[in-house]
Chain A
Amino acid sequence: MKKDKLKLISLILLVILIIMVGFFGVYSNEKGSMKNGVKDYEYTTNIKGARVANLELSSATDAATHENYELTRQIIKARLEKMGVTNYVLRLDEETGKIIIELPEDDNTDNILNVISTVGKFEIVDAETNEVLLNNNDISESNIYRNTTSYGTEMSFSIEFTSDGAKKLEEISKTYVPAKEETTEENTEEVTETEEVENSEETSTEENKEKKVSLKLDDTELMSTNFEEPVTTGKMYLTVGQAATTTDDVKSNYTQAQRMATLLSTKPLPLTYENNSSTFVQGALNENITNTMLIGVAIIVAIAIVVLLVKFKKQGLFSGICFAGLAALLLLTVRYWNVALSKEGIVAIFAVLVLNFILVYKILNDLRKEKDNKKEETKHVINMAIKDFTLKVIPLFIFAVVFAFGTWEAASSFGMVMFWGLSLIELYNLFITKNILK
């Protein structure tokens, strides 16, 4: 009996501790000011805000037609998809062709904006005559490759040609070959198909005999090269920069490779756009969102405690404390499991609390009935109520898991919160509420 009381007090103290930490935090004095040691909430773009960029036509041309505006929109969407950007808002003014895009703000935002506003006209031309040998139409796709060697991490991208393009490339690779004549001592570094022009110092004694191709992007030469052997695979691999040994260099090379792979995988823009302004705009709900959410949770908890107390007296009070504990534990879980909260995620927190209230109410109601009939023990009644609840929320659990793995962050946030919420309801009531009530 004494042991049971001690256990009950310990559990209630534990729940109160969770409530204090979850709702109010743990403060310590750091350099003269009080700082909360509990991790902060993370929010998604629809709360935090987004970078809003205005893309406008650089000049009026005959190509400025509705069809080309729409084509531009489709190409930008394809580029965003290629770069793995799924959380964006794209607005097209069908009269003026102006595009307003909202993107999540992170280290890659500037790169993304650069890529989507670049025309992306790619050509392989004869270095001397400028005759176009291959262009975007001959490319099927482009991908990024990473290779780690003892010298560092090399970043490269492929250019994979269509069947027609592959045939043309094979012909070109047989025609544009290094000179076979003797060369001077300076010509020690042979240019391969993967080397950049700025690194090559090749000079030929008989320049006329050496044929080279130039790779151009938007009429700017990227590199000039020739082929040591025929390319029969229909693929070219180009290395970006040099093998990187620092994280910053790897990231920089990756950004360049991603830019090229994205531009080569999509069609060139039919129109030239300029990024006129790009500013970060907060979400409309951003201001005091944490306080608003906590107030919402506190109101639900307060209502639950009052209802349970009025209806079930002493057991209602204990259950109310447990209910508050679960709310606090959920708030801690989303913070420490790095769940970025969207508006939908916050709604999921409220939904989880409502579901938990339904379960707790049912448990207490069943206990009251069973107590009157003196048929089963408290523990069994609670187990049965939890089992019954579990069977009813299995579809919701499936829904939560599928959405948690979704690419759209607002939905993923909802799924993650729901997943953790439902899991906590099960475990918390099984191990905490049951032991306090029995």
Chain B
Amino acid sequence: MKKSLILILIVSIIAGIIVIFTVGFNLKVTTKAHQEITVNIGEEYKNNDIKQIAKEAIGTDVEVQKTGDFEDQAVISANEITREQVTEIANKLNEKYGKEISADSITIKDVPATKISEMFLPQISSFIIATLVIFVYFAIRYKKQGIIKVLATAVIGLGLLELLVSSFIALFRIPVGQNIVSIIYITYGIAMIGITTMFENKAKELKAEEDNKKKK
């Protein structure tokens, strides 16, 4: 059971790495270069209603955001938006809200991509500092377990878990945008707690052994 689980994890990591380097991550619509339209609905609306209409017309991953002084305009973002789709959206909105929105008044705007590296750059220094401080703590607290062994375990454990999560994100085509930051943090937290628990258990074992020796 344990061996088959390890095998599955290794295969997942390898497959994930191959996907990352060949196909790449599936970027979220607002992260990559996309198109957007701004529709003046002229009254309060629910994002989900507009999203539903946009999905019916465009049929792909869409995002809806409110704008305008009275929050009565919607920015609809999608990979690609055609004039026909704009007409369909306008017709559906007119039908739902009883408006007379003209498709001709809606402009399709090209929105360039964001740089993924820039998105994650501001937090790299925090990650490095936090990891270094944690490793120093590990080295001091668990020095009896061997500093090099402890640090190597921590690096490998942390690296493997982040790699595994990245592989799953790539394999399951989870849209990558700023949303992925939370997953990285949680993975990091789980890895750290897991590694610490392992070291703590080992420390308890060592202490028990020492106590036994003293008793003898």
Contact = CB atoms under 8 A, between A and B. Distances in A.
Interface of A: 46, 49, 86, 89-94, 98, 100, 279-284, 286-287, 343-344, 347-348, 351, 388, 391-396, 398-399, 402-403, 405-408, 410-411, 414-415, 418
A399 B47 CA distance: 35
A344 B47 CA distance: 21
A402 B133 contact: yes
A100 B182 contact: no
A281 B75 contact: yes
B66 A287 contact: yes
B196 A90 contact: no
B114 interface: yes
Interface in B15-33: 30
B146 to A, nearest CB: 18
B178 A410 contact: yes
Contacts of B193: 392-393, 395-396
Contacts of A98: 110, 112
A171 to B, nearest CB: 42
6 contacts: A90-B115, A281-B65, A281-B75, A282-B66, A344-B182, A394-B137
Contacts, number: 113
B67 A287 contact: no
Given A343-B179, A402-B133, A406-B123, A94 B67 contact: no
Contacts of A46: 178
A410 B181 contact: yes
Contacts of A388: 200
A127 to B, nearest CB: 43
Contacts of B47: 284, 287
Contact of B65 (A283, A396, A407): A283
Interface stretch (B1-9, B168-176, B183-191, B206-214): B183-191
Contacts of A406: 122-123, 125-126
Given A392-B196, A402-B130, A406-B122, A92 B112 contact: yes
Nearest to B191: A395
B197 interface: yes
B181 A391 contact: no
B134 interface: yes
Given A282-B71, A395-B137, A93 B186 contact: no
Nearest to B45: A287
A392 B138 CA distance: 11
Interface in B123-143: 123, 125-126, 129-130, 133-134, 137-138
B192 A399 contact: yes
B130 A399 contact: yes
Contacts of B43: none
Given A93-B110, A392-B193, 19 more contacts: A90-B118, A100-B112, A279-B68, A281-B65, A284-B65, A343-B182, A344-B182, A351-B189, A394-B196, A395-B138, A395-B195, A396-B189, A396-B193, A398-B134, A399-B130, A402-B130, A403-B126, A406-B126, A407-B122
Most chain B C-beta atoms within 10 Å of own C-beta, residue among A46, A49, A402: A402
A90 to B, nearest CB: 7
A395 B115 CA distance: 31
Interface in B26-83: 30, 46-47, 63-68, 71, 75
A312 to B, nearest CB: 23
Contacts of A418: 189
Contact of A91 (B114, B185, B192): B114
Contacts of A391: 196, 200
Contacts of B137: 394-395, 398
Contact of B112 (A86, A94, A281, A415): A94
Given A100-B111, A403-B126, A281 B66 contact: yes
A307 B137 CA distance: 35
Interface residues of B, number: 43
Contacts of B110: 93, 98
Contacts of A283: 65
A396 B133 CA distance: 11
Q: Is the interface of B mostly helix, strand, loop or mixed?
A: helix
A411 to B, nearest CB: 5
Nearest to B46: A287
A282 B111 CA distance: 17
A406 B121 CA distance: 12
B126 A347 contact: no
A282 B77 CA distance: 13
B113 interface: yes
B122 A395 contact: no
Given A281-B66, A287-B47, A91 B122 contact: no
Given A94-B112, A402-B130, A392 B200 contact: yes
A144 B63 CA distance: 41
A304 to B, nearest CB: 18
A46 B47 CA distance: 16
Contacts of B46: 287
Contacts of A286: 65-66
Contacts of B181: 343-344, 410-411
Nearest to B75: A281
Contact of B178 (A49, A343, A392, A414): A343
Contacts of B195: 395
B150 to A, nearest CB: 12
A49 B112 contact: no
B179 to A, nearest CB: 7
Nearest to B128: A402
A5 to B, nearest CB: 38
Interface string B93-122: 000000000000000001111110011001
The 8 closest A-B pairs by CB, nearest first: A408-B122, A402-B130, A91-B112, A395-B192, A347-B182, A93-B112, A282-B66, A406-B126
